[in-house]
Amino acid sequence: MKALGEDAPYDALTPELILDGLDTNGWQTTGKLFPLNSYENRVYQVGVYEEDREFDIVVKFYRPGRWSKEQILEEHSFSFELVDDEIPVVPPLCRAKRSIFETGKFMFSVFDKVGGRAPNLEDDSVLRWMGRLIARTHLKGAIRRYDVRPQIDVQQFGFGPSRDVLASGYLPEGLSDVYDGLIQRALSEIQDRFSSRSDFQDIRLLGDCHIGNVLVSDDTMCFVDLDDSVMGPSIQDLWMLLSGDRESMQRQLREILKGYEQFRDFDYSEVPLIEPLRTLRMINYAGWLANRWNDPAFQTAFPWFSTQRYWEEHMNHIREQISAMDEPFSI
């Protein structure tokens, strides 16, 4: 059985189409075109010139069928709100009051090229700095809700992706029933924990707040990608910065919250959601791969996906997470 995603969705995205799309929408390209690392979307560094000046921009072509135009516009609007409050993010560039453009069957957006390095999260001062910036984004994110972008919930980020895995045919023979029973158990645990804390506030989040989406340059730190921005609890934007054993993660979270609470109160009842959210991300990730496996870029980047070893390790990680959800995460 073939995977659920579209076969080679970017085959029609030729260099000529990319450059023509930019030229048609107000950029004058030099012919320079360099692909950047990205799997979900296709992202390029492109040379342009303007007023006798040559420089590079970054162009993101959205995966067909993933987001609607309305969902992308909601994300862009959030970016513009953050910029208006001088919160460092990289927003899409506009031409004729538009931030989404089209060429062929593709929607795309354009961004300034921003340099920098990943933050050093072993430095407590950097953790506090991250906490301050995230708190400021959350203050803005709590002002209003998304109307059409997703909300983190067990159905959309857990049950749906696990069904996709089962339907994909990429589970090795004999593992489907074991996988299904294990995932159902994990999702039941997650659902119980979400239900027991149903009073937490859902806000607009960065959504995928890891060090790959943060750049540090001189005395500036900025968020560079809101493509996965969703509604959810505040802790979602914090737990992905944590690493190591439980004691190390608890210490890191304490430092982050020292910075966070300089700008926004934190609801400590969300802390027990860390391991359920981590488990949900693991399940969702496997479903994401199952849905994208027909894309040749995924088969090159993730050749281990359909192997017996990967699925056995994945299920062992889920078993570990079921145990971790039973251990109090306190700070």
Which residues carry out catalysis? Answer: 208, 225
DSSP 295: S
DSSP 158: I
Question: Does residue 253 contact residue 127 with C-beta atoms inside 8 Å?
Answer: no
Tell me the C-alpha distance between 243 and 72, whole Å. 31
Cβ-Cβ contacts under 8 Å for 6 (sequence gap 6 or more): 64, 65, 294, 295
Residue length, the chain?
331
Tell me the C-alpha distance between 205 and 150, whole Å. 11
Give the C-alpha distances (Å, rounded to integers) separating 109 from 32, 42, 94, 124, 325: 17, 11, 9, 35, 39
Give the C-alpha distances (Å, rounded to integers) separating 100 from 24, 52, 182, 222: 13, 26, 41, 22
Question: Does residue 131 contact residue 242 with C-beta atoms inside 8 Å?
Answer: no
DSSP 106: E
Backbone angles phi, psi at 112, to 5 degrees: -60, 145
Question: Does residue 134 contact residue 261 with C-beta atoms inside 8 Å?
Answer: no
Backbone angles phi, psi at 69, to 5 degrees: -60, -40
Tell me the C-alpha distance between 272 and 235, whole Å. 9
Give the C-alpha distances (Å, rounded to integers) separating 222 from 79, 100, 219: 12, 22, 10
DSSP 41: S
Question: Does residue 280 contact residue 157 with C-beta atoms inside 8 Å?
Answer: yes
Max CA distance (Å), the chain: 64
